[in-house]
Structure 1
Amino acid sequence: MSSKYKVHIVEDDRTTRRLLENVTSMLGYDVRSYEDGQEAWNSFELERPQIVISDWKIPEIDGLELCRRLRESMKESYTYFVLVSAQKRSKPNLEAAINAGVDDFLKKPIGSDDIWNRLRVAERILNFNHQVRRLESLIPICCYCKKVRNDGDLWEQIEQYVNERTGADFTHSICPTCMDTHVRPQMESYKKSLKDKQRASTD
């Protein structure tokens, strides 16, 4: 197991919370724990955890609302959310949890192996998500004409590509390096050709 991920535990039952703390800490994660949803939410906004293990029924803000808020606020990065519940996994409960954005479930009473298995899945999904985001950030660009390949596998000017995704417009200018390397030599060459023509016409 990797120690790079932050795990936040939200559980008001002390025995269950201690178990979750001990197992996740033993596996090398950076662990924080909270007794109520409001305290956890305040911490989420600052800490940005990668994994959250939360009981469904907790004071202040319940686990589903906690997950909903997290999904709405943390769109730039992904948090794997595990919901803990003593309730039976009925169809209405399952649909409510999935609609809130829950990724996985732990049923009470919780065993150490159950926690370990869920964390293994969480880490696998997070690693995959990171790889996908990294690949999405790569922009295929032609090394000759500098056109960019878009999502439809068509090549277009980089200005159009950026404008379609960000709304940004471009103004064209010339950088100092290109001015010295390209523009000034062309201007000097043009001036020289004019002088040569003038000289030829007077001879």
Structure 2
Amino acid sequence: MNKKMTTIFASLAMMIALAFTTSTFAAPLGDNKGDSKGDKNKSSYAAEVSGAVSDVTGTTIKLLNGAVVIDASAARIVSEDSRTTLTIAAITVGTVIEVYGNPGVGNILASVIEVHGPKSDGEMKGTITAADTANSTITVNGAVITLNAATVYKGRNGMVLTAANLTAGTVVEVEVVFVMGKLVATKVSLK
């Protein structure tokens, strides 16, 4: 085995070991005051791991190119931005998540999963010229942008915004990532 591969495997082993140690520095979910969206006692979880999702099959999530396996069957899944409860459909390949749980047999039994979503590759502001609800896309500045379960929507002045509100003529700012040859919205805000 060459030196580069040895270094990669050593780094990976260290990340896995860290994932299975008790974390006393867990980032709080919600406002940490015991509301239904927060979690008062994260230090009670023996495992914490975060990273980009490499595979999702049913309620099994793989992180770090499959090196860490998460059982999400009993997990509470929440959005980083809005603290709203999500389903596992919001977790797709490339999504960044933070997992709190306990070690299982060859996996982590997740109790809480915080969905961070992929970081933005860029953003654009403009008027929606087309909205295709059947294909979950909008067109802004001539670019077709895909919306998915992980897309975060921000309305004006506390207004709730959903994909259904995105119609031709609406002015938006869209943060996007480039995934498998297409633009995917990570965040859509009304302007």
TM-score band w.r.t. shorter chain: under 0.3
Higher CA-based Rg: 1
Q: Which has the larger strand fraction?
A: 2
